[in-house]
Structures are given as C-alpha cells and as structure tokens.
Structure 1
C-alpha cells in the first residue's frame, strides 16, 4: 500500500447541520459495526443505530459482527481478517447511542436552494488534526475498505495511548480524478477527524502508514445525495455539483471529498460530495 498525505487542499471532512449523511454495501465504514443484515434490521423495528448496537451487544456470539463484516466484504473481493474482531466489538460497545459520536463542527456561510431543494451549502471548517492513510488496491472499493479498517485499528487502541479514542462523523474519503472528471483514481485517502479532547495532542498511530496531519481552515461546498457511493455515482455527483455551482472555477479541480454518515444496511444511505475552495 502506498503512503501519502491528505491536507485539506485535497481532503477534509464534516457533517451538514446535524443530519447524518453515509456509505454503501461495498464500503465498510465504522458505522457498519452497529448494522444488521436486511432481515435483522426488519426484526429490530426501525433499524436505528442505537437499537442495532444494543442488540449486537447482547448477542451471545462474540464474532457475529465480524461475520457480518466478512459477509458484506466477500461480495466486493475484500477480506476482513480475524484480528478485526476486537476493534469491531470495541467500537460497538463504545458507541451506544448517537450522543457518543462527535460531529465535526463547521460554520454555515450560505445555502443555495431551488424550488425548496438545497442544491449545496457553503461552509467554513476550522483547522484541525486528522489521521489519514492513503491506499491503492486493485479497485476503488477495495482501497476504501482496507483504508477504513486500518483507521479503525488506530481508533481502537493501536495508538500511543493504548485506548479507544472515540468516533467522529463523517469518515471522509479524498478522491482524485482526471481533468475531464470521468475517471477516479484507485489511490484514495481515508481520513478521520480527531475528537475534540485529542485535538491538542493527537495520539500517534502504531501503523506507520497512518499520518497525523493538520488540515488548514478551508471553505467547502457540500451537496447531499443518497444511495450507493461507487465510481459511477461519484462521477455523476461530481458533474451535477459542477453544474449547480455558481463559480466552479473557485474550487480545486481534481481533488474531491466523499463524506459518509450512515451505515450501508440502511436503504436510504446519506452521503455528501464536497468541493474544496482554492487556497
């Protein structure tokens, strides 16, 4: 795997106004830890993350979550190793309820609407510390999955403090395209915003490929979308965003963000595409 940085002129992350925009069955996100299969979701009522986490916590099979991850990943040529069982269980036990998930703060500058629909939001994000890993696998989806798993290990004790750090939303993926925005590189950077109580002194990763970086304050243009986040949908969303922006030329031309908020078991997954204003 390649090692690389991910400063905010090519990466950054957050959430829109307290909503929880997410991912897809091919993208194993940290929120998968509290997810069921479709049958399990229907059995649990409304399938809320809180209910799912509590039910998983009560389950007698300690590897149930690991098997769930493995089942999802198998269809996308991704292997979830046995040593992921402990991080998966740890995130589940430490994330009982949404109050335990810190949302990355931002200031809303403007919102463009048309016929009652929000076309995009213009936001300001402050400078902050991020844990980043740049990965290149055979496919775009594999790169995302393996990057997420390594960030997870960092969050769950594989850090200089040897303790669980806490979860923040969204987990973001920095993607790069060609000049025509028609091809996405398989080199992706997965990034995790350090919780507030670790911003001043970020714990150091034990994984040498994970880099702690300070991303500068920046302006982000964010557009929400629902459903899968594969190469086709991302390209479509990039082109749509370029069409609705008043001045797309003010944004970085070949680096974009996919921000994920909800888990892939939900039928109405929530995501955002971010364009980054040039520094």
Structure 2
C-alpha cells in the first residue's frame, strides 16, 4: 500500500538517540516556511526544467533534514509536492483559518484556560490511518493530504492551505492510552467548499462535518502520545462537562520543529 512517501524509524515519540530532543512524528506545511527569503529567491514558475529539478532536490533535502528530527524518512517522490507547497506558501496571507464564532472564554491570572467556539458545517478531506504507532499514522496521513493539496485532485491545481491541520484521536475509558487509529483532516478553502475537488487517492474521503461547539485549550511543544494524554486530562479538569467521551481533536498551527509550537486540544460539546 502506498504510504505517501514517508516511513518512520523507531517507535513512539522518542528521539533517535544521543542528545537529540524528543520530537513528534508529525510533519506539517509550516516546516517549509523555515526557509529564508534568500533561500527561496530562486524558486518560481520561471525555472527551466534543469533548474526546477535542482530546486526540487534542494527543497527535498531540507525537508529530509527536518524530518530526521522526527525520526521520519521522506522519499524522492515527494520532491515535486514539496516544491509546489513551498512556492505557493511563502507568505501567510493566503493561508486561511478554519472559520469559527467565539462564544466564551475563561482566563485565570492572564492565562487562557479555554475557549468555547462554534464551527459551522463544512467539507474536510480526511484520511484514516491504522499504523502500529500513533506517529506513523499521523505521518502517513499527512503525506497523503499533502499530495491531494498539490494537484493530485480532480482540478489538477494547487488548492491552498488552511489551518489548523487536525487529528482526531481516541482514548481508552481512563484517557490514558491513545488508539493507533487516527483521522488526519484538512479543511477545504472557502473557494472549494461548494464543489470540493475529488482526491486521486481513494483512501482520502471528502466528508461534510456537521456544525459543532468545541472547547479548546492551547498548548505549546511537541504532540506525541504522552503530551496529548496530559493535555486531555488537563482540559478535563478545567471543564465541569468534559465533552466528547473518548474522542478528541488535536489542532496544529505551527512548525512542529519549533520549540514553542502552537497547538490546541479540542473537546466536542455533548448534545
């Protein structure tokens, strides 16, 4: 089965040995923005085929370097999608946030404890993965969505990026163990909501998610089994009604290699 050109080395969320810090297995589009303007100045539609090939290789090597910090290997076949994502996402102005209405928020001593938001129904591109570790499932799922965003769709066009990329996770009754079955999902940009482009990959499904009210809690740092379980339990302590039974959402906004990566844990409000 095609795994989107990405495979994990090692298990869990642990580091690769030595003094390297522990990192998550998730790679997002934000990694591509680590290039400086000088590094990106030679990319663009004006490149001839040889120059384009050299640029793709350069970007691929950079992506591979980032991925090694997550114990992930990225294959050569990801070179073209990576180049497209980089050239189309050099600025943040074209990156949409999933729209929501803020209903309430709670702070303590200037710290945001949670927000209550309402999200309208909308189309999401979703891929369900069932690998032997949580990190593998996230990695393989995101690489598939990455290809869908980069022309492997019925329009044959780059679709544009939205944030956050979300992962639906499930736990046991005690909220102490995360299932390896995860759903990685990407919200279709507004211009594609009415007529979502269909994926070439039949493992990606276009789904209409119903309107939902969610409680969100921000946190920084890597996302792995340990941090997610800790955040779920921390959020449950803040809420009188903890929300969804054993199903939660992890929302990622920024580069996972960044020391202060911005994430949220989402609880769905019970009907």
TM-score range, shorter chain: 0.7 to 0.9
The correspondence for 1:58, drawn from 6, 17, 42, is 42
Q: Give 4+ residue runs of structure 1 displaced > 6 Å after superposition.
A: none
Separation in structure 2 between the aligned mates of residue 226 and residue 143 of structure 1, nearest angstrom: 21
Q: 1:129 to 1:254 in 2, by over 3 A?
A: same
Instruction: Supply the RMSD in Å over aligned alpha carbons.
Output: 1.9
SS at match of 1:238: helix
Q: Tell me what 2:128 maps to.
A: 134
Q: 2:108 maps to which residue? A: 114
Unpaired runs of at least 5, structure 1: 2-23, 37-51
Q: 1:265 to 1:78 in 2, by over 3 A?
A: closer
Which among 252, 259, 278 is matched to residue 270 of structure 2?
278
| Superposition deviation, residue 103 in structure 1 | 0.8
Deviation at 1:64, TM superposition (A): 2.2
Query: Do the aligned residues in 2 keep the contact of 1:112 with 1:121 (CA within 8 Å)?
Result: yes
CA–CA distance in 1 between the matches of 2:61 and 2:241? 47
The residue aligned with 1:86 is 80
Give the number of equivalent residue pairs.
Answer: 241
Unaligned runs of 5+ in 2: 2-22, 44-50
| Partner secondary structure for residue 80 of structure 2 | helix
Residue 262 of structure 1, CA deviation: 0.6
**Larger relative contact order (C-alpha < 8 A, sep ≥ 6)?**
1
Shift in Å, 1:97: 1.1
Query: 2: CA distance between counterparts of 1:54 and 1:92?
Result: 13
Rounded Cα–Cα distance in structure 1 between residues aligned with 2:249 and 2:58: 32
CA distance in 2, matches of 1:222, 1:192: 18
Structure 2 residue aligned with 1:257? 249
How far did 1:26 drift? Answer: 2.6
Aligned to 2:148: 154
TM-score by length of 1: 0.82
Q: Aligned residue for 2:168?
A: 174
Distance 1:194 1:75 in 2: 29
Cross-structure match for 1:202: 196
